[in-house]
Amino acid sequence: MLQPRSVSSLLSQVLIPSPLTPGKRPLSISLLSSSGDPLCSCTSAASASERSFDLQAGSSNPTEYGSVQALDPSENLNAYSLVALNLWNRHLQEREAENTTDWLEVSVDRFNVILKAVGGVESPKWLLLMICEAEYPKGLALKKVENLGVLIDQQT
């Protein structure tokens, strides 16, 4: 049986930056029930420079972070998750018709959202949901989610 502390610890390990991608890391990872209800989530802490506004004289956009235009991603993770879960439900319907994979990758704004079924392909026990910036290598993100799914599945 999964223990909350062990799940949280496993999820947070996925957010540790890789030496292969200095300065880049996933923004969040969540374990969801098969119906999409959140069970446990971890987010990476944004650096102070990512959180501070660029309020230079003459700046016409108060939501501009340096040269990157966007709101703090942590404020939008729930919205991205809902979009991805909606697409996941469509994916499940297509999977029945076309026998597609047990994962889904979606680009939303300047982020990639990855959903992976855990605990069985036909009727998964859980879903893993990772959100990372578009610049984060998709292959590395997919591998992290896949490995995490194996670890979680082994603990049950």
- What are the structural domain ranges in the chain? 4-14+22-44+66-154
Domain 4-14+22-44+66-154, CATH: 3.30.450.30
**Of 69, 62, 23, 63, nearest to 44 (Cα)?**
23
Scored b (16 or more CB within 10 A) or e, 16-31 reads eeeeeeeeebbbbbbb
What tens digit of pLDDT does each residue of 80-138 get?
777 777 877 777 777 665 656 788 888 887 888 898 989 876 678 888 999 998 899 99
What tens digit of pLDDT does each residue of 11-48 get?
999 998 888 888 888 989 999 888 888 888 888 875 33
Look-up of token digits 């049986």? 1
Using the predicted structure, report yes or no on whether residue 74 has a pLDDT greater than 60: no
pTM passes above 0.85: no
DSSP secondary structure letter of residue 46: P
As a whole number of Å, the end-to-end CA separation of the chain is: 5
